[in-house]
Structure 1
């Protein structure tokens, strides 16, 4: 069935498919674990039941998403041995310990305290339960730390030597772990996870506010999510700019492909190409819509900065601009849309109409999956921009593949697609069902509650759009 296909491309597509299915879950759990820790901390410090109600609403969803993330991640480790055995052999002395450190830190913390977080509140008390929630959140950040360190090393390898067998071996672990692109990539990804979670939480809150604008938990979700968008989206834009400057220094061909930039602007400022159609064969971007000077200003922070075009590099080292030109723009566009929504919400807060704005709530629902799209587009831009290398400048993708034929790779690819759509499709459907249920009070199910703030009484049961429920 797959005779005549390139096994390397099939293996690349298989890994791209599985990693795309996986990355959305860690992006959600990193932010959601931190959100749960904040909610429980606010409950303990203020005594307001709405924070624990919201915590219990999201902790169920966190448990399902966490499990799906673990299952989807396990599969990828097997592909290193089946489809990328040469890569595993050559990079194992460097990347193997980094992956092991993730297990020893992140997985041990999460496995040790997740059960307490999910089921132990009635048994261990509020203080230890809050500690467990914080440790789980810390574990998700440790996981991101080690995975991104390993991935960043593949982009900007440092602190290594090569032994007689052609393997990369560590000479300086500090240089390996904190390689040149790692700090920028870590900050950018963690902020992306926080924003992704914020827009999911805000979208769910907005959905339930459209049904009942007085639902206390929905108001809390909506307000906290929009504060996150307002405060973090501009920080993410600056972090992305710093990451771009780092990429220009260490992977200039990737930046040229992202910008659809084929000619080096040696004697004139580089324009910013907003839209166009990169043509790899003709080595030009057709139908380009450009803003003069702005490309040099953004990429070099100078009006006359020189940026190398793809023609400055060997043709067999060109990343595919036709894909990453667009994925990069989708990611950036979503980032500015998040910023715009945050500023819109700030104006509504100032006017005191945050919870009465139907259009803002509908926009939040529309934007709720935007973080996942941005993360996937950013990941495609990063990984396709590294091509044709698995270890940038040192090990080509074509040299990293296992000696297996296209039919074997194709058959496993089909199996992955079928199983993933069935398994994770069902899981996603269940998560959406959980999100579709309106938040409700859980106070009676919460032991050892702290003293509540005086004067707070439960809101009456309300029907759609705030009308009083006659059954209340």
Structure 2
């Protein structure tokens, strides 16, 4: 029975499964590393112990998230060789060095300073420890930069030549390869998404503890900081998303048309299709609910601007519109929900009720996982929308996979499902237990005690106070 399955579909499903698990951890660790940097910086500036307590609180969580991200990332990268060997052979001269640069710059930076950040709290001065935290935060951003550079080249390839072996190789300078037309939009959009994801988690945890004890200073502080982030960054993300969409329309028009459900050309302005059931077979959206001209207003900033349709492109180059039509709407809906929570928090803050509105706190708790759902929906929109290509317009997915039989791919997929749900399910359960514990109420400035006097060991260093002096 397994022999009748398509090995390409199975290989794609395996990569989608593993990368979906992996993606949520960098999305969290990028924002959380920067949040830890801000917390420690504020403690050094103000001397307020509540920031140090929150630093200790979230440092434990960061350590677990970072470790889970590393493990899932290593497993994912091996699939380039096992399931996508043709892609690796053809694109390796470009993709390989870019991923190696990520390891040499970002991962080494993170790994080098992570030990100081986690276990050097009682052994180094406060400024050196803060420097280590900053380097880890910088490392996560550099890592995101290289990975987005790889993905952006696959979406909008540039700066390459094809050698006699059919491989993509640099045509000269690496700059056009790294800084492709879509790179800046994707990088900014992804990093902001990571910050919003972290803000929603921090806000949800703070709201959870406020529902139990409105006087807890740590819960109040983290909730306030998270709501500021949501209120300020969510509208920026919407503007960045609009610019990203215009860039995608220019370089990958079929993807945007599939996202919008625009099968037929609209010479007098395209509608905005809110809901419906897209069908590639019928080349239409069944049961559509649409608003006239708004589609052109969003995509061209002119309600009467003409737009092409998917029927203007060869049918064998259409992405699977039903998938990205809905993944895009999930992402956008959650983006506006984040904006709504941010605006609601501003109203509560203006009325001096930020810590006294249980309804707001309940919504914040419910929105805690929303960032993860949004980044996965955005990833699905981006990657499925690139189909049927792995390198857009140049290398098809059906031509990129390894010559493996369907049973072999199905067996490894099943193994991944079992192991991932077991291992990462346990890790997630542990994270939730850490988050369920209320922040410490002690706001005194952490003392500068020698290691032995404080009873500190490297194994327990994650949970100890920061030193007060050099």
- TM-score of the superposition, structure 2-length normalised? 0.95
Superposition deviation, residue 446 in structure 1 = 2.5
CA contact (8 A) 1:47 1:450 kept: no
The 5 A counterparts of 1:29-428 are 29-171=29-171, 172-266=173-267, 268-428=268-428
In structure 2, C-alpha distance between the alignment counterparts of 1:404 and 1:369, rounded to whole Å: 37
- Map Cα deviations across residues 188-227 of structure 1 (whole Å, 9 max, x no partner): 0000000000000000000001111011110011000000
> Aligned-pair RMSD on alpha carbons?
1.1
SS at match of 1:169: strand
SS at match of 2:270: coil
Aligned to 1:435: 435
CA contact (8 A) 1:101 1:146 kept: yes
- Note if 1:446 corresponds to 2:465: yes
CA contact (8 A) 1:202 1:225 kept: yes
In structure 1, C-alpha distance between the alignment counterparts of 2:466 and 2:398, rounded to whole Å: 58
Aligned to 1:7: 7
In structure 2, C-alpha distance between the alignment counterparts of 1:393 and 1:308, rounded to whole Å: 18
Count of aligned residue pairs for this structure pair: 450
In structure 2, C-alpha distance between the alignment counterparts of 1:450 and 1:439, rounded to whole Å: 23
SS at match of 1:3: helix
Superposition deviation, residue 306 in structure 1 = 1.8
Q: 1:167 to 1:289 in 2, by over 3 A?
A: same
SS at match of 1:121: coil
- Map Cα deviations across residues 380-415 of structure 1 (whole Å, 9 max, x no partner): 000000000000000000000111110110000000
Superposition deviation, residue 450 in structure 1 = 6.3
CA contact (8 A) 1:44 1:450 kept: no
In structure 2, C-alpha distance between the alignment counterparts of 1:254 and 1:166, rounded to whole Å: 26
CA contact (8 A) 2:388 2:396 kept: yes
In structure 1, C-alpha distance between the alignment counterparts of 2:120 and 2:330, rounded to whole Å: 42
In structure 2, C-alpha distance between the alignment counterparts of 1:295 and 1:309, rounded to whole Å: 12
In structure 2, C-alpha distance between the alignment counterparts of 1:316 and 1:75, rounded to whole Å: 32
Superposition deviation, residue 447 in structure 1 = 4.9
Runs of 4+ in 1 over 4 A off after TM superposition: none
In structure 1, C-alpha distance between the alignment counterparts of 2:163 and 2:280, rounded to whole Å: 37
Unaligned runs of 5+ in 1: 452-472
In structure 2, C-alpha distance between the alignment counterparts of 1:201 and 1:284, rounded to whole Å: 42
- Map Cα deviations across residues 278-332 of structure 1 (whole Å, 9 max, x no partner): 0111110011111111100100111222221110111111001111000000000
SS at match of 1:123: coil
- TM-score of the superposition, structure 1-length normalised? 0.94
In structure 2, C-alpha distance between the alignment counterparts of 1:448 and 1:22, rounded to whole Å: 34
In structure 2, C-alpha distance between the alignment counterparts of 1:207 and 1:391, rounded to whole Å: 44
Aligned to 1:466: none
Superposition deviation, residue 448 in structure 1 = 3.4
CA contact (8 A) 2:216 2:441 kept: no
In structure 2, C-alpha distance between the alignment counterparts of 1:2 and 1:132, rounded to whole Å: 51
Unaligned runs of 5+ in 2: 448-463
Superposition deviation, residue 3 in structure 1 = 1.2
In structure 2, C-alpha distance between the alignment counterparts of 1:307 and 1:65, rounded to whole Å: 44
